Structure 1
Amino acid sequence: MPGIALRHDFGPGGFTLDAAFDVPDRGVTALFGPSGCGKSTILAAVAGLLRPRAGRVEIGGAVVLDTSRGVFVPPERRRCGVVFQDARLFPHLSVETNLRYGQRRAPRDAAGPGFEEVVALLGIGHLLDRRPSGLSGGERQRVALGRALLARPRILLMDEPLAALDAARRAEVLPFLARLRDAAGMPILYVTHALDEVDALADHLVLLEAGRVVAAGPVAALAARTDLPLAARRDAGVLLDCQVARASEEGLTTLDFPGGTLATTLHPGPPGTRLRVRVRARDVAVATLEPHGISTRNILRGTLAEITPVPGTAEAFVRVAVGPSDILARITRDSVARLGLAQGMALWALVKAVTFDHRVVGAAAQDAPREED
């Protein structure tokens, strides 16, 4: 498990970084927080592009930085695949030659996917003869991902790779990132300030604020905590790992999750497709009696597990346990008092089918369609 511990400051009165966390050997660990919190500084230090004042970085069993022992492995020997906001492709080379450049940098004895596998994984076979100037922003990023992966790194470092893309191109690239995560078999450290990217890709989350780690752990567990800065966001809520059960003639899709089912107007794929869905707390109402004669499609019976007032507001989070899963509702404290809500009582969580405004790609999502020329 890669271990990262870094301390660095940028002069008197400047920004100070003091962060330590572990990165699991597989999957995506997202560094998340507001601009200026230290995310890119951490990535630069791991890649060897920044020499911190103090720290230790271990990747794939190899210590590449240990200031206490005077260890500083140069960037070119760390075997970090780095993908930046801009693709940084060689403009005078074709897509294939750009990819082959990454392949030539791979150690001879390093395991990893071959050229054809990477091309198929990222859906870029039809682009091989083109130059970067003839590609869309999303296509360029997919080629950059392929080049980094073909170098067969110990770890992939992604510094806000979708930040320069518009919404349509971001939606295009996200499924390919999910496929890369599942196929790479290596740790991926992913910097972002976009919560939808965290929802779609992250297995683990490191929350940063002012150069410090606020919390770190599985993404779903941190999303459900009401004591973290995430809870202050208007899109705060829980993440549910779902699987498409069936589609109805009424245009609704039924999603199974541990403890219940959800109906949604989304169409994420055929039965069996797995995905992660954010249920926003502000989209959830609660009832002390089972409602009848209402339009809300999702009525989930559960048990009131916790009531947490939101500091500085007239609101409160109500946590409803639906089987092994939790649903968060954000309601007024007046409603808490008026309904006589108390821990342990039976409660129904109400979620409209039209509130799921985006789908996110789960660990075994279906292959995304190839981008047309």
Structure 2
Amino acid sequence: MGLSVGIGHDFGRFALDMAFEAPDGVTALFGQSGAGKTSVVNAVAGLFRPDRARIVVGDRVLGDTDKGVWLPPHRRGIGYVFQDARLFPHMSVLGNLSYGTRGRGGRGDFARVVEMLGLGDLTGRRPRDLSGGEKQRVAIGRALLSRPEVLLMDEPLASLDTARRAEILPYLERLRDEMRMPILYVSHAVEEVARLATTVVLIDAGQVVATGAAEDVFADPDLAPRLGLAEAGALLTGTVTAHHADGLSEIALSGGSLFLPRVDAAPGGRVRVRIEAQDVILSRDRPDGLSALNILPAEVVAVKQGEGPGVIVQLRTGEDLILARLTRRSAEALAIRPGTACHAVVKSVAVARGNVTRL
């Protein structure tokens, strides 16, 4: 169906001026606090009316300020999940979920949503008896049961601790994979965006800096400083070919095999792997006598020099692009430049479990 957004607004301190397309799947609005992300989703929801805007879902116009069209929130077919769950405290989980079915006929989806979000054992509880992650799952379920055409999620994990975030992320992945609708997901956390997004809209001071498929945005060395040098890294898609007796899983990439601590996917399953640039070592020749199992033949595509002593190297291995973060001294010593043949070395244990997700 797809969502098309064009917004302009003068806040005084900065001007919001952006346009982007959000296809089915998770489109992450990524940027630092104050970049304008929440203003965008509030405009899509109809909670904020910019100076100028055109917002279209499929062929349905939600807002067009040039033509004087601005649908109220309740007529937009939008589901909204906030940072805090905002559940009705006097209602049980069942009551909160049932509230979502009012008005748009979502009752027929009830069993499916409850199963998908793992809410079956929670329906009799009140919000005060739920963990933060459980509350957010109920809030997502309530939003889905309104049968929205677009789902908005504004930093839904920001108020959760690490354990609760880890608990809810698999449910968000399943939501991405099973629900055929545009999902706008606001975040300033690289690991969330890398794990969930199919499309990324990178925002800075009210402007779209870059937009595209998540794999393309994360592999762009020019964008690494904006994503955060310490967290920069590329996304690779592969197929699990085997789980070995020593606890390692083998993943086939276009450029070779990757061995990682056992991943939660059956052989034949597709996975996305985030390899952080700081965990990639380069060697001009294939190294001998290393403990590292992952040695991928590669060719240097680009070398981007920062203001400090480091450089970001973009490499092609097979059909995939990866990034390596080196010191300038090392890059010069190895004569790393576009076209250079080399090998990218990745330690198996360097790839965190949270950086491997099923597709």
TM-score range (shorter-chain normalised) is: over 0.9
Q: Which residue of 2 aligns with 1:14?
A: 13
Q: Secondary structure at the match of 2:231?
A: coil
Q: Tell me, yes or no, if the aligned pair for 1:242 and 1:257 is still in contact at 8 Å.
A: yes
The one-character-per-residue Cα deviations of 1:126-157 (angstroms, maximum 9, x if unpaired) are 11111111111111111111111010011000
Q: Which residue of 2 aligns with 1:268?
A: 264
Letter in 1 for 2:301: A
Decide which moves more: 33-42 or 339-348.
339-348
Q: 2:170 aligns with which of 168, 175, 195?
A: 175
1:213-272 Cα deviation digits (max 9, x unpaired): 101110110001111244642111111112322222222221222222111125333323
CA distance in 2, matches of 1:279, 1:270: 21
Corresponding residue for residue 27 of structure 1: 25
Q: Distance in 1 between matches of 2:82 and 2:227?
A: 29
Q: 1:114 to 1:207 in 2, by over 3 A?
A: same
Give secondary structure in 2 for the equivalent of 1:220: helix
Q: 1:243 aligns with which of 239, 243, 263?
A: 239
The residue that corresponds to 2:287 in the other structure is 291
Match of 2:278 among 245, 260, 282: 282
Q: Report the more deviating stretch, 71-80 or 273-282.
A: 273-282
Write the mapping of 1:1-373 to structure 2, written as runs, cut at 5 A. Answer: 1-10=2-11, 13-24=12-23, 26-106=24-104, 108=105, 114-228=109-223, 229-230=225-226, 232-309=228-305, 311-360=306-355, 362=357, 364=359
Q: Structure 1 regions of 5+ residues with no counterpart? A: 365-373
Q: Which digits, 9 at most, give the CA deviation of each residue in 1:278-313, with x for residues without a partner?
A: 11111111111111111112111122222222x212
Looking at structure 2, the residues matched to 120 and 355 of structure 1 have their Cα atoms a distance apart, in angstroms, of: 34
Say if 2:221 and 2:313, in contact at 8 Å, map to a contact too: no
Equivalent residues of 2:7, 2:19 under 8 A apart: yes
Tell me by how many angstroms 1:194 deviates.
Answer: 0.8
User: What runs of 5+ residues in structure 2 fail to find an aligned partner?
Assistant: none
Contact 1:241 1:362 in 2 (8 A): no
- Runs of 4+ in structure 1 off by over 4 angstroms are 360-363
Distance (whole Å) between structure 2 residues aligned to residue 143 and residue 57 of structure 1: 28
Normalising by structure 1, what TM-score? Answer: 0.91
RMSD, aligned α-carbons? 1.7
1:152–1:363 CA distance, 2 compared to 1 (3 A): farther
Q: Distance in 1 between matches of 2:260 and 2:137?
A: 30
Percent of aligned pairs with the same amino acid: 48
Contact 2:304 2:311 in 1 (8 A): yes
The TM-score with structure 2 as length reference comes to 0.95
Cα distance, 1:7 vs. partner?
A: 1.0
Aligned 8 A contact 1:2 1:58 in 2: yes
> How far did residue 315 of structure 1 move?
2.0
Q: Deviations over 1:70-124 (max 9, x none)?
A: 1110011111000001111111111111111111231x5x8x9611111111110
CA–CA distance in structure 1, aligned partners of residues 244 and 297 of structure 2: 22
Distance change (3 Å), C-alpha of 1:114 and 1:198: same
Q: For 2:50, what is the secondary structure of its paired residue?
A: coil
1:367 equivalent in structure 2: none
Query: 1:203 Cα shift?
Result: 0.3
